[in-house]
Structure 1
Amino acid sequence: MNEEVRMNAEPHVPEPVAVIGLSCRTAGADDAESLWQLLRAERRLIGPVPEQRVPSVDAGPVDAGPMQAALLDDVTGFDAAFFGVSRRMAAWMDPHQRLLLELTWHALENAAIAPDRLRGEPVAVFAAAPMADYRERMIRADVVDSAAFPGTLITFTANRISYQFDWTGPSYAVDSACSSGLSVLAPAVQGLRAGEFSLAAVMAANITCNGFYTSSAYQAGALSPTGDSVPFSTRRDGYVRGEGGACLLLKRLADARRDGDPVHAVIRGVGVGHNGRAGGLTGSDAPAQTQLFLRTARAAGVPLSSVGYVEAHGTGTGGDLAEAAAVTEALRTALEMPQAQVAGPEGKLWIGSVKSNIGHLEAAAGLLGIVKAVLILRHGLIPPIAGLDRPDPALSFGDLPVALADRPVTWPRGAEVRRIGVNSFGVGGALAHAIVEEAPGEATDVSPWTGPAPLAVPLSAMNRTGLSALAADLIRTVRGPRPPDLAALAWTTQTGRAGLRERRVLVAADLAGLAEALAAVAAEQPHGQVAATDRKDALGHLPTPVAHTAGDWLDGLPADWAKHWPHPRSHCPDLPGYPFQRSPHWFDAHGPAAR
């Protein structure tokens, strides 16, 4: 009996897990929406790597010009003061830890959760274990400091986050090489379903700052010598390294809906496995992946034929062919079931890969695949594989309706639930696969605001420079092509943001008035609708009970904003994140040059 038949014979629908918050940073994109714009434009953020950025790369017999990669603009910068980290500790702290601190903060903001609400709570942290480039660079420089002890141990990739936010749930790093970003989803989903914790932060980052791994990967033939490699194409000659990371906040769907959390998408299932000896020590095996796809769908309680798109591992290596064969064979098995139909747009199962845009983020690749899946479901569009002008003729889908995403494909909501498979495998043979489903309909209030006007919009930052930057970012959102609902914005800033040192309350009856007040804050100018600690006359425009709460908040006192709302509103999950004021932190005076 094949896997699809057994799935129907043993129906089981495990509890769905909601993605309530997310953040990401990649080459060319500081958040999810800017990543989406990059994908829509089919941009490839790949370019030459300065020698000081990744020193001592030995490509062996390869001689194809300078190394190419998709790099972040700056890996030395960090807002140490914001996180209460000394400059010395920040200098000896692995950049992966720094990036994950920022991504976790932004994911909490995206979920509209003020971090203080979670202090002492059993929040779980699962991090993909990164490369040890920073420690290797210290060894190469022959320098050491006691701050490097917590700064470079891999365990602190997760433990630093738990410490910083005072979370008491399980906290550990997982290393399954390039499948780590998806592998860390498995214990998070399992623990949530078992009730071991009610919230999990799943994260991964990838930063390149030393030449040892790059040299060995070049000499092993894993890396593209040209940087021109495109997954599933005739220009497939090895993978291109990429930098960045992502953080997801997960909660049981029923709990998220009860708590009024934003739900970006739903994780229906996560499966992990290994090739065994098939595929060799560093290769990948198509049959093993096929069985994992089928097992994951069965465990999720959904037919595999209901998956309409696969965000493939798709690195631009020989593994592409095995992966495409696995997807094809899994679909063939799924379609053997009575009345099974391909669920993707145009009656096809589509395959794509984000690595053509931002390179291969190695340990973080799987989580970036999840972020891309969320964006596809949100926007109803499958973006094309950037640069795919000539598909590899060795690819064969037989008579099955499987297609590479060689053009934009619309995929709006319909009668059937949209599902995406996200695939990943590691160089050591570890496999991981996740099934992501579109978010259910809104559970919280999205009706027009009919309560008292105007509304209070609190803003805070660590200092005036940060407050000015935050206001400027928010103006772009308010005046952008998809402006937020004012009531949802006010609810989010009141109940879903940290109250930091420098505070203002903006009083607005509409978005135009809010934009005008924001402009004054951005310019650090007084305004009749902006209240500060030493100047609260603007609060007189608010209903008296709200004005009292706003005054307490300005003075740093406990403020129960929620009591002024008849019932919870929908949050604005895509408001700009906190504008960290980064400055260089590196263990010596010769840090890597910016790209």
Structure 2
Amino acid sequence: MKPVALVGMSCRVPGAENPTELWANLLSGTSSVRRTPEGRWTAAAASADRTPSFGGFLKDPDLFDAAFFGISQREATYLDPQQRLVLELAWEAVEDAALTAGDLRGRRWGVFVGAGSDDFRLRYLGSGHLDRFGHTGTAGCMLANRVSHHFGLRGPSEVIDTGQSSSLAALHRAMCALQLGECEAAVVAGVAVNLLGEVTEQIRLWGGLSADGRCHTFDERADGYVRGEGGACVVLKSLEAARRDGDHVYCVVRGSATGNDGDRGALGEPSAQAQSEVLRAAHRTAGVSAADVSYIELHGTGTPVGDPVEAWAIGDVVGRARPGGSPVRVGSVKTNIGHLESAAGIAGLVKAALVLHHQRIPPSLNFVRSNLDIDLEALNIRVVTRAEDGGFTAGDAVGVSSFGMGGTHVHAVLGPAPAPDGCADAPCAQALWCLSARSPEAVRELARALLAHPFDTDACTVVDVARALKGRTQWEHRAVVAGSDWDEVRQGLEKIVAGHHFAVPSEWPDTDPTVRGALVQAAGAYVHSGDIEAVRQLLPAGRAHRAPLLPTYPFRREPFRLPGPAPRAAQASAPSFPYPGGRDRDASGVIDPNLPSFTGRWAAARGDTERIWLVRELLEGELAAIYGGTVPDFDPEASFSDNGIDSMSLLEFLDRLNTATGLHLSEVALFDNPTINELAECVHKEMEATRG
């Protein structure tokens, strides 16, 4: 395989909202496993005497920034939290790669998502409240398709389900697509959100769960795993393209392979021979020797059957190839965050990429003494129990394993990033940090996140950060921070957090008026008109992206109630959405005979202008009633299609419109008048023709 660069990443896992927080938890040996949050399970599941009470949980799986993605309140209500999470993770990973949504639109980028959980769909179908948006909102294929749709991507868009190895299988599928030229770059994600206690109980009955809620990987106490949830996303492109574009490269994916246990004793029983074959196949595609592998991020669930099999396969392929006294180092992120099941592979991939990026190996938790069936010394394996230097050289390789309960194994081989091209910037170069968001509050939140961010000031400069920020999508609300060193920038960020939009050191206007004066002028133009080009032209020459893992867009998430089962005695009421007005209905959208009808108000209006205004108010109100609130970013001059109004919503809209006006408009009226303004004129003329 040709080497592939990992140029962007994001994650949301137990205890961490992003890769920076995850890395801090890994280095400190933090376990993010906790007691099941109150209200997570249904009453029946919660009352089960033996349902495990521990897990790795996301903080707020019901929160989502629907407006950011142009999704209405009604549609978001019936949208699987996994779809919501993948959308946000994809945006963050693309932004981390210093790309904008506009850069991707129309490009042959692929989207590959590993997933298998359908907890939300089961809860939705059992709730007794079905909605047409639930069809796309709960369909598994939409995990990838919705990302492709939002970014306008033209490459493959696929969801892969191989059980617990799904997300690493998605990586393998992306690698193959890149090699075959099916896409020029790829977004790869994995996701799992646990919303049904019954599923956890089912896994306990199967025998897969740990009694004490911990993964004791390779330890003598290994008796099963603890479930976790979350997701991660990475951006891949060929190494050649990444170096050409000046991207930061976290690591290089040298190759991958997949296979199945095939004919073994029983379904669900792993095969050491099959795992060995996959390891060797991955090494061949990566062009590495087994002796080059210095660290492996294990599948490492901590089960008494699976651990010895995985250890034997590693010893058979890698341990015996390495010199005596230099064992292959191993660890498992599952000991920190639990087993993320379909997202487990990409969680391990993100950890391994961070290991190579930081040149450090965090400890694997819950290991004291090895399983009696695992002779680590004979297998030439060492479990890393304390954080240590990676010591990786250009020829070293790092492995990542993920295995599915049906026997589908995947192994990926990573390597360190090549030395970056380009020269270092002058240490005192001035910079403008451009902050942009959809609201003033979000701008301040981004400034607050940058202020708290643990910058590696030895590895990047204030100019590096400026380059990364100016490459992001530009929104309608903006602020700028000027500075030539970290102290000046921090002081400026504090001013933005306090509510200012323009933060320039007080001495700048009086010193170096040629250079700094031009910067101040460009900063003012950016804040007031969004002129980012002037800022770009004033940045010193240098490599495009040397400031990875910056805080990404601060989503303004709001809660969307998760569906629950309908009560037996009486069906629960369906979610209600506020109706903003526009005809003879009350706030809930129910026809109120005491309110004047729309036709009555139209007839009483004085002149065409007032009547057309009433019609437009009606049209906007009916759309809002359909979508559970105003349509995000709606443009009355743009077509319904360009505003994201789907064909089924238009038919519902037409029915409501005819009911309100007493007209008999056909679908042709929508095609001939594809904007709100045009349709308002059409309805007004039809009303005049029928009512005078």
Q: TM-score range by the shorter chain?
A: 0.7 to 0.9
User: What one-letter code is carried by the residue in structure 2 that aligns with 1:544?
Assistant: A
Deviations 1:235-284 (A, max 9, x none): 21111111111101000001100010110000011101100021521121
Task: Identify if the C-alpha distance between structure 1 residues 519 and 289 changes in structure 2 by more than 3 Å, giving closer, same or farther.
Answer: same
User: What one-letter code is carried by the residue in structure 1 that aligns with 2:115?
Assistant: A
Other structure's SS at 2:256 match: strand
Deviations 1:206-238 (A, max 9, x none): 110113322221111112233134111122111
Scaled by the length of structure 2, the TM-score of the pair is 0.76
Deviation, structure 1 residue 569: 4.0
Task: Identify if the C-alpha distance between structure 1 residues 507 and 86 changes in structure 2 by more than 3 Å, giving closer, same or farther.
Answer: same
Aligned partner of 1:5 in structure 2 is none
Aligned partner of 1:35 in structure 2 is 22
User: What one-letter code is carried by the residue in structure 2 that aligns with 1:419?
Assistant: A
Deviation, structure 1 residue 410: 2.2
Aligned partner of 1:502 in structure 2 is 477
Q: Alignment partner for residue 325 of structure 1, among 308, 312, 320?
A: 312
Tell me how far apart the structure 1 counterparts of residues 114 and 51 of structure 2 sit (CA, whole Å). Answer: 32
* 1:471 aligns to 2:447 (yes or no): yes
Q: Which moved more, 1:72-81 or 1:567-576?
A: 567-576
User: What one-letter code is carried by the residue in structure 1 that aligns with 2:391?
Assistant: P
Q: Alignment partner for residue 213 of structure 2, among 197, 208, 227?
A: 227
Q: Alignment partner for residue 280 of structure 1, among 266, 279, 285?
A: 266
Other structure's SS at 1:297 match: helix
Q: Alignment partner for residue 559 of structure 1, among 517, 533, 552?
A: 533
* 1:571 aligns to 2:550 (yes or no): no
Other structure's SS at 1:573 match: coil
Deviation, structure 1 residue 119: 1.2
Q: How does 1:163-202 map to 2 (within 5 A)?
A: 163-202=149-188
Aligned partner of 2:276 in structure 1 is 290
Deviations 1:505-562 (A, max 9, x none): 222222212111111111103655299xxxxxxx997453884586267414573654
Deviation, structure 1 residue 409: 3.1
Deviation, structure 1 residue 405: 1.9
Q: CA RMSD in A?
A: 2.7
Deviations 1:177-197 (A, max 9, x none): 000111001121122122222
Q: Alignment partner for residue 155 of structure 1, among 141, 158, 161?
A: 141
Task: Identify if the C-alpha distance between structure 1 residues 482 and 80 changes in structure 2 by more than 3 Å, giving closer, same or farther.
Answer: farther
Do 2:215 and 2:338's aligned partners in 1 also have CA atoms closer than 8 Å? Answer: no
Aligned-residue identity in percent: 34
Aligned partner of 1:7 in structure 2 is none
Deviations 1:148-180 (A, max 9, x none): 111100000000101111111110100000001
Aligned partner of 2:356 in structure 1 is 377
Q: Which moved more, 1:295-304 or 1:356-365?
A: 295-304
Tell me how far apart the structure 2 counterparts of residues 307 and 455 of structure 1 sit (CA, whole Å). Answer: 41
Deviations 1:406-447 (A, max 9, x none): 333322244x53311101110111110000111111124434
Deviation, structure 1 residue 32: 1.1
Q: How does 1:392-541 map to 2 (within 5 A)?
A: 392-397=371-376, 399-414=378-393, 417-449=395-427, 454-477=430-453, 484-494=460-470, 496-525=471-500, 529=504
User: What one-letter code is carried by the residue in structure 2 that aligns with 1:438?
Assistant: P
User: What one-letter code is carried by the residue in structure 2 that aligns with 1:325?
Assistant: W
Do 1:126 and 1:158's aligned partners in 2 also have CA atoms closer than 8 Å? Answer: yes
Other structure's SS at 1:441 match: coil
Task: Identify if the C-alpha distance between structure 1 residues 234 and 410 changes in structure 2 by more than 3 Å, giving closer, same or farther.
Answer: same
Deviations 1:114-147 (A, max 9, x none): 2211111111100012300001111232221111
Q: Which moved more, 1:220-229 or 1:244-253?
A: 220-229
User: What one-letter code is carried by the residue in structure 1 that aligns with 2:8?
Assistant: G
Give the number of the structure with larger relative contact order, counting CA–CA contacts within 8 Å between residues 6 or more apart. 1
Tell me how far apart the structure 1 counterparts of residues 267 and 139 of structure 2 sit (CA, whole Å). Answer: 27
Q: Alignment partner for residue 245 of structure 2, among 248, 255, 259?
A: 259
Task: Identify if the C-alpha distance between structure 1 residues 229 and 126 changes in structure 2 by more than 3 Å, giving closer, same or farther.
Answer: closer
Other structure's SS at 1:144 match: coil
Deviation, structure 1 residue 17: 0.2
Aligned partner of 1:389 in structure 2 is 368
Other structure's SS at 1:294 match: helix
Tell me how far apart the structure 2 counterparts of residues 65 and 216 of structure 1 sit (CA, whole Å). Answer: 9
Q: Which runs of 5+ in 1 are unaligned?
A: 1-13, 532-538
User: What one-letter code is carried by the residue in structure 2 that aligns with 1:427?
Assistant: M
* 1:581 aligns to 2:556 (yes or no): yes
User: What one-letter code is carried by the residue in structure 1 that aligns with 2:116?
Assistant: P
Deviations 1:295-337 (A, max 9, x none): 110121111110011111011112111111111111256x2xx
Other structure's SS at 1:218 match: helix
Scaled by the length of structure 1, the TM-score of the pair is 0.88
Tell me how far apart the structure 1 counterparts of residues 12 and 400 of structure 2 sit (CA, whole Å). Answer: 19
Tell me how far apart the structure 2 counterparts of residues 119 and 222 of structure 1 sit (CA, whole Å). Answer: 43
User: What one-letter code is carried by the residue in structure 1 that aligns with 2:341?
Assistant: E
Deviation, structure 1 residue 358: 0.1
Tell me how far apart the structure 1 counterparts of residues 457 and 464 of structure 2 sit (CA, whole Å). Answer: 17
* 1:364 aligns to 2:343 (yes or no): yes
User: What one-letter code is carried by the residue in structure 2 that aligns with 1:391?
Assistant: S
Do 1:56 and 1:210's aligned partners in 2 also have CA atoms closer than 8 Å? Answer: no
Deviation, structure 1 residue 33: 1.7
Do 1:444 and 1:569's aligned partners in 2 also have CA atoms closer than 8 Å? Answer: no
Deviation, structure 1 residue 365: 0.5
Other structure's SS at 2:468 match: helix
Task: Identify if the C-alpha distance between structure 1 residues 143 and 530 changes in structure 2 by more than 3 Å, giving closer, same or farther.
Answer: farther
Task: Identify if the C-alpha distance between structure 1 residues 404 and 31 changes in structure 2 by more than 3 Å, giving closer, same or farther.
Answer: same
Deviations 1:47-74 (A, max 9, x none): 22146312267699x9557521010111
User: What one-letter code is carried by the residue in structure 1 that aligns with 2:431?
Assistant: L
Aligned partner of 2:189 in structure 1 is 203
Q: Which moved more, 1:99-108 or 1:544-553?
A: 544-553
User: What one-letter code is carried by the residue in structure 1 that aligns with 2:480?
Assistant: V
Aligned partner of 2:11 in structure 1 is 24
Tell me how far apart the structure 1 counterparts of residues 176 and 535 of structure 2 sit (CA, whole Å). Answer: 35
Aligned partner of 2:582 in structure 1 is none
Aligned partner of 2:653 in structure 1 is none
Do 2:86 and 2:147's aligned partners in 1 also have CA atoms closer than 8 Å? Answer: yes
Tell me how far apart the structure 2 counterparts of residues 348 and 266 of structure 1 sit (CA, whole Å). Answer: 23
Tell me how far apart the structure 1 counterparts of residues 432 and 553 of structure 2 sit (CA, whole Å). Answer: 19
User: What one-letter code is carried by the residue in structure 2 that aligns with 1:42?
Assistant: G
Higher helix share: 2
Deviation, structure 1 residue 91: 1.2
Other structure's SS at 1:266 match: strand
Task: Identify if the C-alpha distance between structure 1 residues 52 and 476 changes in structure 2 by more than 3 Å, giving closer, same or farther.
Answer: closer
Tell me how far apart the structure 2 counterparts of residues 91 and 59 of structure 1 sit (CA, whole Å). Answer: 24
Q: Which runs of 5+ in 2 are unaligned?
A: 507-512, 567-692
Deviations 1:332-385 (A, max 9, x none): 56x2xxxx647xxx6210121110110000011011111111111122222222
Do 1:64 and 1:225's aligned partners in 2 also have CA atoms closer than 8 Å? Answer: no
Tell me how far apart the structure 1 counterparts of residues 387 and 454 of structure 2 sit (CA, whole Å). Answer: 28
Tell me how far apart the structure 2 counterparts of residues 588 and 313 of structure 1 sit (CA, whole Å). Answer: 33
Task: Identify if the C-alpha distance between structure 1 residues 120 and 331 changes in structure 2 by more than 3 Å, giving closer, same or farther.
Answer: same
Tell me how far apart the structure 1 counterparts of residues 178 and 455 of structure 2 sit (CA, whole Å). Answer: 39
- Work out which of the two has the higher radius of gyration on C-alpha atoms and give 1 or 2: 2
Aligned partner of 1:348 in structure 2 is 327
Task: Identify if the C-alpha distance between structure 1 residues 298 and 59 changes in structure 2 by more than 3 Å, giving closer, same or farther.
Answer: farther
